[in-house]
Structure 1
């Protein structure tokens, strides 16, 4: 993850004010939520007082900042980032890896992947590997680039403009959530400049959107409708885990469910040979 770390150590006040303004919360309300006095919050914003590490923790918790942004706030005040203090034991890492593998395998015969905050693939289950190959994947590790770039996969998504608009909005929200994430900002601009994307994201549907957006694929003449569920690691205190997402694709109708059941049977038959 790329963060803007070369910041002067007196940048904490402006950053605090920017976050408070973005959250539309008054100094008094922030002080109450963080367990500080309004006077202290005011002095922190103007630079008249220097924050302690504990005060930064309290403020970031009150503002519901992502772990990566907590690191930015700490560094802006001259402290080492929290991620530098995180130590992963072998047991913890193995437990996380085993749990991820269990979730992905348990979602068979439907596709499931683990991705980071900008949709870069970390691991996939067998169904996802088979499905994306048949849908026209070029092997691009970043799912957003794969979907947005002109090519076989994009061409096989029948409602691509709606899907592109929804995915672009999700990445835009991630950038708003982490304003110092240069990597996410760069990807957002890269996607915006791809052919057809600018018009797709500004055009609004003429009818009210469905409660859940289905991704409509056409593979070998067969129409498949899928919707996604995205899960995150709860109560994570580590930026790496905070970045992690598990996306599962589920059939939106019975023909799609039957298609994937047949896909599993086909893989099983090949394995028996």
Structure 2
């Protein structure tokens, strides 16, 4: 059952105004992009009018909001989240899982994982499990916390500082993309407080000329150089699907490629 927002409740008006300002749009510009009158947008932002689900859909499209932020806007207006109204059926869930498994298996003998928006591990292929175990991973379900926390894995990454800066920057971009994501904000604060992390964030080094960040692992008396490729599911209107990421680690040179083939190819 749908419920309109009480006019005295400032949640939706503030939500809409904050997103409009993030996109640096005037009320007139937003009205032109959304097909709604400037007067109506003004009334929505002041709480003099209540939004309909259709109006929120128009505004969300005009503001290019991520699926989870659309859900949050709906909730702020007293409606059920869009994702909860269109739950996946069994066949759809099965197809999504099979597709992810296909990509992970097909990337062997190189590591590949499925993660959510803040790098919580969902699935990993066998090379990823074995490689990170060999490198000293503690088994933390969050890969950012795993890499940034003091320990054996962190110690075996010879360019850990550059890698950490890049990872923190990616999380900052995720927080900026979804400003109402409290879980991501809490994780960012937690990671920034870890030993050694706060100091390296205070003075960022100039950007390198390299097209990608290469992560260098030192163990078993060999240096392995890998770079990361992260894929998302495009054009998703479902927050759960929009959260999914597929990260594949690729060899940056022949020595690294040969090492993985000799260790994990079967």
Compute the TM-score of the two structures, normalised by the length of structure 1.
Answer: 0.91
Aligned mates of 1:115, 1:53 — CA distance in 2: 31
Structure 1 residue 9 displacement after superposition: 4.3
Structure 1 residue 111 displacement after superposition: 0.7
Conserved in 2, the CA contact under 8 Å of 1:9 and 1:76? no
Conserved in 2, the CA contact under 8 Å of 1:112 and 1:247? yes
What is aligned with 2:250? 250
What is aligned with 1:36? 36
What is aligned with 1:3? none
Structure 1 residue 123 displacement after superposition: 0.5
1:235 is the counterpart of 2:235: yes
Structure 1 residue 64 displacement after superposition: 1.2
- Aligned-residue RMSD, C-alpha: 1.4
Seen in structure 2, the aligned counterparts of structure 1 residues 25 and 219 have a Cα distance that, compared at 3 Å, is same
Aligned mates of 1:40, 1:209 — CA distance in 2: 48
Paired residues for 1:127-138 under 5 Å: 127-138=127-138
| 1:196-242 deviations in Å (ceiling 9; x for gaps) | 00111222225744221111111212111111111111221211111
| 1:168-187 deviations in Å (ceiling 9; x for gaps) | 01111111111121111111
What is aligned with 1:95? 95
1:203 is the counterpart of 2:203: yes
Structure 1 residue 49 displacement after superposition: 1.7
Paired residues for 1:184-199 under 5 Å: 184-199=184-199
Conserved in 2, the CA contact under 8 Å of 1:113 and 1:125? yes
What is aligned with 2:3? none
Aligned mates of 1:208, 1:110 — CA distance in 2: 25
What is aligned with 1:179? 179
Aligned mates of 1:103, 1:176 — CA distance in 2: 29
Conserved in 1, the CA contact under 8 Å of 2:137 and 2:146? yes
Q: Which moved more, 1:149-158 or 1:33-42?
A: 33-42
Listed as ranges, the gaps of 5+ residues in structure 2 are: 1-7
Paired residues for 1:1-273 under 5 Å: 9-205=9-205, 208-265=208-265, 268=266
Seen in structure 2, the aligned counterparts of structure 1 residues 21 and 86 have a Cα distance that, compared at 3 Å, is same
Conserved in 2, the CA contact under 8 Å of 1:117 and 1:244? yes
Aligned mates of 1:247, 1:104 — CA distance in 2: 9
Structure 1 residue 136 displacement after superposition: 1.1
Aligned residues between the structures: 259
Aligned mates of 1:188, 1:220 — CA distance in 2: 32
Structure 1 residue 137 displacement after superposition: 0.7
Q: Which moved more, 1:153-162 or 1:19-28?
A: 19-28
Structure 1 residue 264 displacement after superposition: 2.2
Structure 1 segments (4+ residues) deviating >3 Å: 206-209
Conserved in 1, the CA contact under 8 Å of 2:9 and 2:47? no
